[in-house]
Structure 1
Amino acid sequence: SGYIVIDREWQAGDTITLNFEMPIRFVYANPNARQMIGRVALQRGPVVYCVEGVDHDGLDVSRLVIKENGWEAEHRATVLGGVTVLKGKGGAISPNGWGDDLYRFASPRIDPITITAVPYSVWGNRGAGSMRVWLQRSYG
């Protein structure tokens, strides 16, 4: 029915602990949304995640590409009073060697990086920088 009833006499200090499976899932954008082709978002349970530059040494996170395996949830009690972050492997497309060129024939270098994602609801609370929900998917 979408809800649970716990019928009892409640006392001060009573608590309830609920444990749910909350696997990390990848949300794929509809390819008819042209700007979203090849992009994925991260979700764990009902929580949508984003990546911020503050977790990646100020990197413009629009240059990140993510891999779809090897992601883990990690609770950090010291972040904003306690936040579960997601950590996984990916890459950062390097701007080095491009100069003022808009195009070139050589494939851009992708530097390996560990990506940290935080719940979307808490972004913008730890410093200025870029933010993304939808990230380019790595096909390599």
Structure 2
Amino acid sequence: MTDAPRAGEADQNTRRAQRLPYCVAATKVIFVLALLRLFAGPMTKDLLDEELLPMPTWEWALCALTPAILIYLARRPENWIALAGERTFLMIALSFYLLYSLAFAAFQGVWILWIGVAAGLGGFAGIWYLNRREPAHAR
């Protein structure tokens, strides 16, 4: 009936906390790759007079899921506090994914990008919820 974690739970929490920087790094790398992929199509059109890559569709929706997954994985108060320095990056990435997905889903009719819109809105809802949640030590 105490709040002290069992030995197995403490080990699992420690492992999760150790993996968190790798998850943040993976999210940043995926964001940079998504930006390169986004600008590769117009760049090939300018340089080679032929568009070799179309604008991103399904891969953009997958990339848009990564910040939302990171927010879900860091939902424990101690992990969310550890992400204090990365929250601005998460909001920038979510904004970029959301705006691109919404624009192309609404105006170009690319239905798969509605997944990116849902991921962006879900990520912002997760940030809003976790920022307003009562800290664990205050209970």
Q: Which of the five TM-score ranges fits, normalised by the shorter chain?
A: under 0.3
By percentage of residues, which structure has more helix? 2
TM-score using structure 1 length: 0.22
Q: RCO greater where, 1 or 2, for CA within 8 Å and sep 6 or more?
A: 1
By percentage of residues, which structure has more strand? 1
TM-score using structure 2 length: 0.22
